[in-house]
Amino acid sequence: MLIRMDHFMDLKAAQIAMDLVEEVYQLCRKLPKEEMYGLSSQLKRSSSSIIANIAEGFGRYTYLDKAHHFTIARGECSEVVAYLLVAVRVRLLATQDIQRALVIADQAGKLLSGLITSSRKRAVSHTP
């Protein structure tokens, strides 16, 4: 049975990515005001880029294009994790503050890996 997906938010990866955006924005509220244009901005941009690339990949026509954008989104998950670890390392956030975001980023990354693998397999099977 084929499940029809009409919108990128039908993807579990997109739903989890949106959870990550929400968590990142909540964490950024804990950062000092002087980080508004630094770490806070980078965290917000990289987390938002995950969902944006999922949406763009979903809207692409070829499976290779889809896989490419899902791969970029997975890279952005790693970027969010890196910025969160920096925030802890420089003592702007506590380790316990970022735990939920790390779990969500890991979930998103795994789901994106599945989308990448699936899209690449479909690209190969649809090649003339």
Of 106, 99, 86, the C-alpha closest to 43 is 86
Does position 101 have pLDDT exceeding 50, yes or no?
Answer: yes
pTM value is 0.90
CATH architecture entry for 12-28+36-125: Up-down Bundle (1.20)
Band (2; pLDDT cuts 50, 70, 90): very low
- pLDDT digits over 11-55, tens only? 999 999 999 999 999 999 999 998 888 999 999 999 999 999 999
Tokens of 65: 């294009």
- 56-93 tens-digit pLDDT: 999 988 999 999 999 999 999 999 999 999 999 999 99
91 torsion bin: left (phi>0), alpha (psi -120 to 50), beta (else)? left
Q: Cβ(111)–Cβ(77) under 8 Å?
A: no
